[in-house]
Amino acid sequence: MSERVVVAMSGGVDSSVAAALLVEQGFEVIGVMLRLWSEADGDLQPRLNPHSATGTPQSSNRCCSVEAIYDAQSVADRLGIPFYVINVEQPFKEQVVDLFVAEYAAGRTPNPCLACNRKIRFGYLLNYARTLGARYLATGHYARVRRDALGRYQLWRGVDRAKDQSYVLSVLGQADLDQVFFPVGEYTKPQVRALAAERGLPTASRVDSQDLCFVADGDYRRFLADHAPEAVQPGPIFDTRGRQLGTHHGLPAYTIGQRSGLGIAAAQPLYVLELDVARNALIVGAADELGRAWLRTGAVNWVAGEPPSGPLRADVQIRYRAHPAPALVTLGADGTAEARFVSPLRDITPGQAAVFYDGEICLGGGIITDAGA
């Protein structure tokens, strides 16, 4: 009796190959697609601002459109496995989208993939897979699971460093890793494409991992203007001495360390230093005012299941595609952490996750709350 695995399929190359590999390894594979959200979709319109100046998006969001379902169903048919679309719109809205909007309104820059992985993919879906009698859940993520000398699970970067998605999987723990497979994490992207081609599967990605899957045209500013117009109001741009230099278009349009698009003529290049939500003000300064030597996080998820016994040296990634920066990580109260960088960074952004690495091993991470010089 082969073991049952549920594979989350998008219709794209990574999850299709993941499913194919598991079928070949003799698992009883069940393909599912999560219906997460529908913008521009008839009956299920999210609450839209009727006065939105930006109008409705031209295309529907990529993640679970009719075309995506068709593509995934075709792959499933080819592999001879059952395929179901599972509706998680309500939980997704409550636990990912609402959080996304609230974070921006609070002056932070969220990465919704973290909440989605924790609550939806490896929360709701993992539980759902269990009720269907599956021992494992597999995805097309580029990451690897290993065990250390003590038998504890470790989360490793994917073989293909450019595609590595361990950052967004930093929310996982021991119980999760015991039940997941990441088949394509053992390969480079070109290798995965070759595996797909050999099997007559699609070789293109369906969703670019960088884009917001639930925003139809990728325009998160329009999305926010539609869902939280109060968070996207123009306000003053100040320098660090409090002089007003101009007007910004709404804080969510700006990110720490950003240089272009400020609309201010100045003697020297100006960079975004801070999003001051209380005053709805954008604080800008010169390049030499940017460096931040430390950051603090909220509660950290340690993949090992418990925090380290003391301070440790780690490489810290402050966003999904950031270069890991060496730092000394110390533990704070209530499971929080502080990272003090060897060299100051210019774009530490509250709301993003600070994820700690020991070489290839992802130790875990927490949401950045603040940073300082």
Binding segment for other proteins (CB under 8 A), chosen from 125-133, 189-197, 232-240, 333-341, is 125-133
Cα gap 225→250, rounded to integer Å = 9
128 contributes a contact to other proteins by CB under 8 A: yes
132 contributes a contact to other proteins by CB under 8 A: yes
**What secondary structure, in 3-state letters, does 22-51 show?**
HHHCCCEEEEEEEECCCCCCHHHCCCCCCC
Nearer to other proteins, 133 or 234 (CB): 133
Cα gap 204→357, rounded to integer Å = 30
299 contributes a contact to other proteins by CB under 8 A: no
Task: Residue count of the chain, please give it.
Answer: 373
Smallest distance from the beta carbon of 126 to other proteins, in angstroms? 13
84 contributes a contact to other proteins by CB under 8 A: yes
Smallest distance from the beta carbon of 145 to other proteins, in angstroms? 26
Taking the chain, what is the end-to-end CA distance rounded to the nearest angstrom? 59
87 contributes a contact to other proteins by CB under 8 A: yes
Cα atoms found within 13 Å of the Cα of residue 342, Cβ hemisphere only:
8
86 contributes a contact to other proteins by CB under 8 A: yes
Binding segment for other proteins (CB under 8 A), chosen from 85-93, 138-146, 224-232, 300-308, is 85-93
Residue 276 gets which letter from DSSP? E
Smallest distance from the beta carbon of 215 to other proteins, in angstroms? 20
- Active-site residue flag, 63: no
Smallest distance from the beta carbon of 284 to other proteins, in angstroms? 44
Residue 177's closest CA among 213, 145, 220?
A: 145
43 contributes a contact to other proteins by CB under 8 A: yes
Q: Is 147 helix (H, G, I), strand (E, B) or coil?
A: strand
Nearer to other proteins, 85 or 322 (CB): 85
**CB-CB contact of 39 with 227 (8 Å):** no
98 contributes a contact to other proteins by CB under 8 A: no
Binding segment for other proteins (CB under 8 A), chosen from 71-79, 84-92, 201-209, 259-267, is 84-92
82 contributes a contact to other proteins by CB under 8 A: yes
Instruction: Report the DSSP pairing between strands 337-345 and 292-297.
Output: antiparallel
Sign of CA dihedral 310, 312, 318, 320: negative
**CB-CB contact of 243 with 66 (8 Å):** no
- Active-site residue flag, 213: yes
Cα gap 75→367, rounded to integer Å = 37
Binding site for other proteins (CB under 8 A): 30, 35, 43-44, 82, 84-87, 89-90, 128, 130-133
Active site residues: 116, 213
